[in-house]
RNA sequence: UCCCCAGUAGCUCAGUCGGUAGAGCGGGUGACUGUUAAUCACCAUGUCCGUGGUUCGAGUCCGCGCUGGGGAGCCA
């Protein structure tokens, strides 16, 4: 297999006059009597490369001009400065081979399609400008996330995808079973007997890697997970999917302030990374997906991240001159409209809201001395509201047990989690970030189904 | 799961008061000496989502269903 040159690399380090071979798919064909232009794209960049066919150089010119949108080509030619205005270089063709043809039924036309239509042809949409940009950004961001944590000395841990703990309260589990759908063995009470199932117990797909992540933090100090996560909720919104990817760092010997420091550094790093390393695609998003995107991301990359207490946030909202659809009252959770008001109007930039009422937060969050709040934090950013949610964890065994009892969380299935508080427990903290929501935030795409390669949502698992 | 909106050509959509459907793009054919979603001319587009009903007559009105979108809840 010969080494294939990516078009992006070719254009990044051009050698004018050199003979070059590239491979890719036809985006556009423009034919005149003496010259024809084919825009070839191999996914490595947005623009692709313009290849030029001249009648005088190609005996087969008329036949080659019949090449259609969508065909796969292998072309050899000379890289030359382009006389055209829209590209610096172009490829003057000497040899052209059609690797795979595409007939006129090829669903992607040389025109703008709706995102809804492209969703129905998810197997072909990566060949469009928009989805090319989305999935290049997604790939680059995934690698940047690993680089960020690697630079900070974090250990990457793969927490289990199949789990037996369904008591995390984070949503409905998908069941994992090897029992036959009909005629599953029953126990004396008539219920399905999971003791006879593959794992000898009731299992499901993970809804969060946090609890296991905490265990690794108690051995390696700083860790993160980055993996698939599943929720069987019947949510039909632009922000929910049944299968998504989540990033969950966890730090031992750390408190809520350390947690916020990490989250701020993380978001700033990723904003800067996208602007600097994905500039062509980001400029495309700014032009075609969300006008003002670059300015929005730049301002976050350069911002000081403000910190306010939940109490303070409630007071701001109660004094607001605008009217909200949902009530504002101490003890109630913040709705998206409240979050956006805080970050967009009150602060005018990213803001952490700290220390929420314990009643609206999870059992594992550290109880504050005031007896009514826990050390939780949400990072709010303009346009979307909450983008990161985290907390300092309750490291004191007795306090944790009391809270679990109050909230009706059974302790027996979590014996291993509780053990981490029994021996060498440390103050520790972490947060969770939905990867797709990050990609949406940085690209301006407004539907989670358009930043997942093959989205899984209620009634949709076709591709 | 609840509320709202939509479904007409390959795609995006128009279709008036109920009288058997139209545009742009795309496709085909031809023209054009360098195009940039090329341009110009000509040609062909159809289970009007499905189903039941009202009516002399339904793309149009009504019921049910399916699909898509938006909002809510849940959350990442």
* Mean pLDDT of the A353-370 span: 94
Bigger pLDDT: A169 or A379?
Answer: A379
Residue A109: nearest nucleotide (C-alpha to C1'): B26
pLDDT class of A32 with cuts at 50, 70, 90: confident
What are A160's two structure tokens? 């289990």
DSSP A240: -
Distance A94 CA to B57 C1' (A): 65
Q: How far apart are the first and last CA of chain A?
A: 29
| pLDDT for the residue A282 | 95
Model confidence pLDDT, tens digit, residues A377-412: 999 998 888 899 999 999 999 999 999 999 888 888
Bigger pLDDT: A32 or A90?
Answer: A90
Listed residue (A286, A227, A212, A372) closest to A46, CA to CA: A286
**Does A104 have pLDDT greater than 80?**
no
Distance A104 CA to B67 C1' (A): 26
Looking at the DSSP assignment, which residues form a beta bridge with residue A229? A244
Distance A80 CA to B55 C1' (A): 71
- At residue A160's C-alpha, the angle toward residues A400 and A452, to 5°, is 110
Looking at the DSSP assignment, which residues form a beta bridge with residue A29? A38
| pLDDT for the residue A385 | 87
Q: What is the mean pLDDT of chain A?
A: 91
**Does A168 have pLDDT greater than 70?**
no
Cβ contacts of residue A119 below 8 Å, gap of 6+? A125, A449, A450, A455
| pLDDT for the residue A167 | 53
Looking at the DSSP assignment, which residues form a beta bridge with residue A380? A351, A386
Helical axes A256-277 vs A279-288, angle rounded to 10°: 90
CA gap A324, A339 in Å, rounded: 11
Bigger pLDDT: A419 or A201?
Answer: A419
Model confidence pLDDT, tens digit, residues A128-144: 999 999 999 999 999 99
Residue ranges of alpha helices (H) inside A67-126 are 115-120
Model confidence pLDDT, tens digit, residues A181-221: 777 888 888 888 888 999 998 889 999 999 999 999 999 99
- 3-state secondary structure string across A246-298: EEEEEEECCCHHHHHHHHHHHHHHHHHHHHHHCHHHHHHHHHHCCCCHHHHHH
| pLDDT for the residue A286 | 92
CA gap A129, A136 in Å, rounded: 11
Side-chain-side CA neighbours of A325 within 13 Å: the count stands at: 5
CB burial class (10 A; 0-12, 13-18, 19+) of residue A461? exposed
Nucleotides of B under 7 A from a protein CB: 1-2, 10-13, 25-28, 31-38, 67-76
Percentage of residues in chain A with pLDDT exceeding 90?
Answer: 65
* Mean pLDDT of the A270-284 span: 96
* Mean pLDDT of the A222-248 span: 93
**Does A244 have pLDDT greater than 60?**
yes
Residue A34: nearest nucleotide (C-alpha to C1'): B33
What are A247's two structure tokens? 């990033």
* Mean pLDDT of the A164-180 span: 76
What are A55's two structure tokens? 């009648």
CA gap A246, A237 in Å, rounded: 18
Model confidence pLDDT, tens digit, residues A153-163: 999 999 999 99
């Amino acid at each position: 297999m010969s080494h294939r040159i990516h078009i992006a690399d070719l254009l990044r380090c051009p050698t004018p006059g050199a003979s070059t071979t590239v491979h890719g798919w036809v985006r556009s064909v423009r034919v005149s009597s003496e010259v024809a232009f084919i825009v070839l794209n191999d996914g490595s960049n947005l623009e692709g490369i313009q290849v030029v066919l001249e009648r005088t150089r190609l005996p087969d010119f008329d036949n080659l001009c019949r090449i259609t949108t969508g065909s796969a080509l292998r072309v050899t030619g000379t890289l030359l400065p382009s006389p055209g205005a829209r590209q610096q270089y172009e490829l003057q063709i000497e040899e052209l081979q059609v690797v795979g043809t595409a007939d006129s039924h090829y669903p992607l036309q040389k025109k703008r399609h709706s995102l809804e239509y492209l969703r129905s042809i998810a197997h072909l949409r990566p060949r469009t400008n928009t989805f090319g940009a989305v999935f290049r950004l997604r790939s680059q961001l995934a690698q940047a996330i690993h680089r960020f944590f690697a630079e900070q000395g974090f250990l990457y841990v793969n927490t289990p995808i199949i789990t037996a703990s369904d008591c995390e309260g984070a949503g409905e589990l998908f069941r994992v079973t090897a029992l036959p759908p009909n005629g599953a063995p029953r126990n004396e009470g008539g219920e399905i007997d999971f003791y006879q199932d593959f794992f000898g117990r009731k299992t499901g797909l993970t809804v969060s890697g946090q609890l296991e992540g905490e265990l690794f933090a108690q051995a390696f100090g700083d860790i993160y997970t980055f993996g698939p996560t599943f929720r069987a909720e019947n949510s039909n919104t632009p922000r929910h999917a049944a299968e998504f990817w989540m990033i969950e760092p966890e730090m031992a010997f750390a408190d809520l302030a350390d947690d916020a420091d990490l989250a701020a550094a993380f978001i700033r790093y990723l904003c800067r990374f996208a602007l600097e390393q994905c500039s062509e695609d980001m400029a495309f998003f700014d032009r075609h997906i969300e006008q003002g995107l670059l300015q929005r991301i730049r301002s976050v990359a350069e911002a000081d991240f403000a910190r306010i207490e939940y109490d303070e946030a409630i007071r701001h909202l109660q004094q607001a001159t605008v009217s909200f659809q949902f009530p504002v009252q101490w003890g109630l959770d913040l709705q998206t409209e409240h979050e956006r008001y805080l970050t967009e109007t009150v602060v005018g930039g990213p803001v952490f809201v700290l220390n929420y009422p314990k009643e609206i937060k999870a059992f594992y969050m550290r109880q504050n001395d005031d007896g009514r709040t826990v050390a939780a934090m949400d990072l709010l950013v303009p346009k979307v509201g909450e983008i990161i949610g985290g907390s300092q964890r309750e490291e004191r065994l007795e306090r944790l047990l009391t809270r679990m009892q109050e909230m009706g969380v059974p302790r027996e299935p979590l014996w291993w989690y509780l053990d981490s508080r029994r021996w060498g427990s440390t103050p520790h903290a972490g947060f969770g970030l939905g990867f797709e929501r990050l990609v949406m935030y940085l690209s301006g795409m407004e539907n989670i189904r358009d930043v997942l390669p093959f989205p899984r949502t209620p009634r949709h698992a076709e591709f």
